[in-house]
């Protein structure tokens, strides 16, 4: 049995200080009916709690830690820049450096604005799209999560789905009525909405690879048709690649599926573990944003030098040319992830359990479900009790996975073949526990 005495004491105190003891809901493990380990430090593929337990980490701070924790290049760059001061609230060369790095991989982004969280990025992208089109409504997909701004907390995924509050109290009817929701992967549903209300719709926002109802992939041709129909009706197509950016492929889902959106939201990885996100896209839309245009958006700490530096260091590692004849960084992650999933599929089969395993580059997800999962409804039909048993058995064996089937897991450059072998052995035991 894991000894979590110190974590449990810390959690008891934290609950007197913060709602549910945490600063972001899923961290509380509430839906798993157990207490979370409190983390002391992390290095490479491992994370360590205050009781001294070591875990192989597939959460990676919910996505950002693609090069592994405390990567020496990132740490060194941060140490150096910190000596020059931690924030100026004034333009720096670092902001342009990160912008150029991002745009070199995302050519659909002609202009970019740095913000501090994915929530800000999606909220601001929609504001810009509304300003640009002069229309008020927008479409989101059921089970997609775009952060916690009011108008996007409608039929949301991630923690909102985990805790059964996809439509949060506190969001007014007035706000929610401009958000039109349709099922993911259902072409007929979005076609109908656009045919009927197209001239009132400013934007369609989508996770082109959805990671917040578990990992759900777009059906073949779905994104292409979405691109066509939005273009025909003058609707701004926003790809929220906060999670799948630099993961589904180096150039995100847009490169993997060959689609050019009008706007893109990025986050997580571009801050290398510090709070950064961004929105960007066509110049004519981005030039609506203040001070170039009238759509207001600002931030005291936006473009913060530490955050820019961590992002630059991380993206430099990701985009570095590989040695001759070797696969690049993203390809290596994809191969490692595939190896893990093949073994997990076999282990589940041996235990007599039917699961659905999904992969997009270095993202992966597992559903205890006999049937295909392609939208929120099919994802929610997965066996939550089986997942709970699996989750606890994995944690017990030092494998740190998200405490919800509605989350995605991530491979990093620091995961070794030994880590993967250990994970497979742990999964064999966990699947058996589920089967019993």
What's the alpha-carbon Rg for the chain, to the nearest Å?
Answer: 21
147 binds ligand PLP (CB under 6 A): yes
Nearest to 57 by CA among 49, 313, 17: 49
Min CB(389)–ligand PLP separation in Å = 25
Interatomic CA distance for residues 146 and 275, integer angstroms = 16
36 binds ligand PLP (CB under 6 A): no
When the beta carbons of 7 and 379 are compared against ligand PLP, the nearer one is 379
Interatomic CA distance for residues 184 and 378, integer angstroms = 11
SS3 400: strand
Q: Report which residue's Cβ sits closest to ligand PLP.
A: 118
**Among 7, 28, 45, 117, which residue sits at the site for ligand PLP (rule: CB under 6 A)?**
117
Interatomic CA distance for residues 43 and 352, integer angstroms = 36
User: How far, CA to CA in Å, does 228 sit from each of 191, 216, 316?
Assistant: 11, 22, 34
Stretch of 28-36, 115-123, 361-369, 417-425 contacting ligand PLP, by CB under 6 A: 115-123
122 binds ligand PLP (CB under 6 A): yes
Please say if 30 is a catalytic residue: no
| End-to-end Cα, the chain, rounded Å | 19
Contacts of 374 by beta carbon, 8 Å cutoff, 6+ apart = 184, 185, 216, 217, 219
When the beta carbons of 53 and 408 are compared against ligand PLP, the nearer one is 408
30, 137, 155, 268: which is the annotated catalytic residue? 268
**Among 49, 57, 207, 419, which residue sits at the site for ligand PLP (rule: CB under 6 A)?**
207
Stretch of 140-148, 187-195, 218-226, 227-235 contacting ligand PLP, by CB under 6 A: 140-148
212 binds ligand PLP (CB under 6 A): yes
When the beta carbons of 125 and 193 are compared against ligand PLP, the nearer one is 125
Min CB(299)–ligand PLP separation in Å = 13
When the beta carbons of 4 and 98 are compared against ligand PLP, the nearer one is 98
Q: How far is CA 27 from the centre of its chain?
A: 15
Q: Classify strands 201-206 and 236-240 as parallel, antiparallel or unpaired.
A: parallel
211 binds ligand PLP (CB under 6 A): yes
Please say if 268 is a catalytic residue: yes
273 binds ligand PLP (CB under 6 A): no
Nearest to 62 by CA among 420, 329, 409, 366: 409
141 binds ligand PLP (CB under 6 A): no
For every residue of 144-170, DSSP letters joined together read ----S-GGG-SS--THHHHTT-SS-TT
Please say if 287 is a catalytic residue: no
In the complex, which residues of this chain contact ligand PLP (CB under 6 A)? 62, 117-119, 122, 145-147, 158, 207, 211-212, 240, 242-243, 267, 277
List residues with catalytic annotation. Answer: 145, 240, 268
């Amino acid at each position: 049995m894991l000894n979590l005495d110190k974590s449990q004491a810390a959690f008891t105190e934290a609950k007197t200080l913060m709602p549910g003891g945490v600063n972001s809901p899923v961290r509380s493990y509430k839906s798993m009916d157990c207490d979370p380990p409190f983390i002391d430090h992390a290095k490479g593929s491992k994370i360590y709690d205050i009781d001294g337990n070591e875990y192989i980490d597939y959460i990676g701070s919910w996505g950002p830690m693609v090069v592994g924790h405390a990567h020496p290049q990132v740490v060194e760059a941060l140490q150096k820049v910190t000596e020059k001061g931690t924030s100026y609230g004034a333009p720096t060369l670092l902001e342009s450096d990160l912008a150029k790095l991002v745009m070199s991989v995302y050519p659909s982004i002609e202009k970019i604005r740095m913000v501090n969280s994915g929530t800000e990025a999606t909220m601001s992208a929609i504001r810009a799209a509304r300003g640009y089109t002069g229309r008020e409504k927008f479409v989101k997909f059921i089970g997609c999560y775009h952060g916690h701004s009011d108008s996007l907390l409608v039929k949301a995924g991630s923690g909102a789905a985990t805790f059964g509050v996809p439509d949060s109290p506190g969001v007014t009817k007035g706000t929610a009525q401009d958000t039109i929701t349709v099922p993911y992967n259902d072409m007929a549903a979005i076609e109908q909405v656009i045919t009927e209300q197209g001239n009132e719709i400013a934007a369609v926002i989508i996770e082109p690879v959805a990671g917040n109802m578990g990992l759900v992939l777009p059906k073949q041709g779905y994104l292409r048709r979405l691109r066509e129909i939005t273009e025909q009706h003058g609707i701004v197509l926003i790809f929220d690649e906060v999670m799948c950016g630099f993961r589904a492929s180096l150039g995100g889902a847009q490169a993997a599926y060959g689609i050019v959106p009008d706007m893109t939201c990025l986050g997580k990885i571009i801050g290398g573990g510090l709070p950064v996100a961004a929105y960007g896209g066509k110049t004519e839309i981005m030039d609506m944003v203040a001070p170039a245009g009238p759509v207001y958006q600002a931030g005291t700490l936006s473009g913060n030098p530490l955050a820019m530096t961590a992002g630059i260091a991380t993206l430099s590692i990701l985009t570095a040319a590989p040695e001759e004849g070797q696969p690049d960084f993203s390809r290596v992650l994809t191969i490692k992830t595939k190896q893990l999933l093949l073994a997990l599929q076999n282990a589940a089969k041996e235990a007599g359990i039917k699961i659905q395993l999904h992969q997009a580059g270095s993202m992966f997800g597992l559903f205890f479900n006999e049937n295909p999962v392609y939208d929120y409804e099919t994802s929610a039909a997965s066996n939550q009790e089986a997942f709970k048993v699996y989750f606890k058995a994995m944690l017990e064996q030092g494998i740190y996975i998200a405490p919800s089937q509605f989350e995605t897991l991530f491979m990093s450059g620091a995961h070794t073949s030994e880590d993967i072998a250990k994970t497979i052995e742990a999964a064999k035991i966990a699947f058996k526990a589920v089967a019993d």
